[in-house]
Amino acid sequence: MGWGPVAAVVLAGVTWISSSGVIAKVMGDLGRVGNRETPVILSILVLEDLAMAVYLPIITALLAGVSLAAGSATLAIALGVAGAVLFIAVRFGRHISRFVSSDDPEKLLLVVLGLTLLVAGIAQQLQVSAAVGAFLVGIALSGEVAEGTHTLLSPLRDLFAAVFFVFFGLHTDPASIPPVLLPALALAVVTAGTKIATGYWAAKRAGIGVKGRWRAGGTLVARGEFSIVIAGLAVTAGIEPAMGPLATAYVLILVVIGPLTARYTEPVAAWVSSRRNPPGTVTLAAVPSQPGSPEDLKDQAQDPAGRA
């Protein structure tokens, strides 16, 4: 596309990170929260979100054109803050949970939201993404507090996800999409394939059955909020005017295709496997996933004696 190295680094971030919000909603809608492959999916999403604590300061420094020394200092601060918050969350998570615990749902909601805003604001001031700061607060909460908070915040999560895409649509010019549609489609096809391969490989490493591996890969395809944020930084800095429309078209394609790949990647893989293997051989359809949800149990019922 003739873009420079800074634009290439921005595009790498846009196409790399999956949408945690979209994927969580899809898994809930498909009833796969209890599946054996779900911890693998969540682990990948957590690693991607943590990687943003490193990536965002780097891209911000590149877009601002600061010197190597200034950029290194910003990155060191960001890493130090993220590491300190992560250490506190892991080491003192139970104490934090006891501090915010309350039998009153209203008090619990207000305390958690206040703590999230505080940590996110501090993270933003220290050149760490506010989203990463809020994410680390979620890691710090555990036990009954985490369960209660999850129940209270689930409606807000769905509401804010809808508001985000409404806001996204308001800033989208339909006339700017057709010129970049072919590059966006090519990027969507390539990166969807790499995400499916990533999920498959990670699930295989975790000992998940073949069906679960394909479900893990297909679930990771969706892109969303972080991709738009990263592209917005580049557009604001004036690096590449076409970055905004390209990222918009790319996210629109994968936010539509993502739920479809989550649902149909495993059946399509099973069909392809059955067509390629002659009768009498072990196919994908005959290899069950490990139990953990009704879908896994249905898979296992096809071959009670086997585990992948």
Structural domain boundaries in the chain: 5-301
Lowest mean pLDDT, pick from 128-132, 143-147, 154-158: 128-132
Read off the pLDDT band of 186 (50, 70, 90): very high
Q: Residue 304 has what pLDDT?
A: 45
pLDDT digits (tens, 9 = 90+) for 84-140: 777 777 777 777 777 777 778 888 888 888 888 888 888 777 766 677 777 777 777
User: What's the pLDDT tens digit per position in 117-128?
Assistant: 888 888 777 766
DSSP codes joined into one string, 113-169: HHHHHHHHHHHHHTTS-HHHHHHHHHHH--HHHHHHHHHHHHHHHHHHHHHHHHHHH
Residue 264 CA to residue 242 CA, distance in Å, equals 32
Res 290 pLDDT > 70: no
The mean pLDDT value for 245-261 works out to 89
What lies within 8 Å, CB to CB, of 83 at 6+ separation is none
CA 172 to chain centre: 22
Q: What are the phi and psi torsion angles at 290 (to 5°)?
A: -75, 145
Higher pLDDT, 291 or 113: 113
pLDDT digits (tens, 9 = 90+) for 194-239: 999 999 999 999 999 888 999 999 999 988 878 888 887 777 777 7
Nearest to 18 by CA among 46, 39, 37, 56: 46
Sign of CA dihedral 250, 251, 256, 260: positive
* The pLDDT of residue 159: 79
Q: What percent of the chain has pLDDT over 70?
A: 84
Residue 246 pLDDT class (50, 70, 90 cuts): confident
Angle at 16 between CA 240 and CA 13, to 5 degrees: 35
Distance CA 178, CA 78 (A): 38
Alpha-carbon distances, residue 51 vs 174, 240, 283, 295 (angstroms) = 32, 24, 37, 32
Please, what is the average pLDDT of the chain? 79
d(Cα 209, Cα 37) in Å, to the nearest integer? 9
Residue of higher predicted confidence among 34 and 100: 34
**Category of 291 on φ-ψ map: left (φ > 0), alpha (ψ -120 to 50) or beta:** beta
Look at residue 188 in the predicted model and tell me its pLDDT. 93
Architecture of the 5-301 domain: Up-down Bundle (1.20)
Global pTM?
Answer: 0.73
Per-residue pLDDT tens digits for 5-14: 888 888 888 8
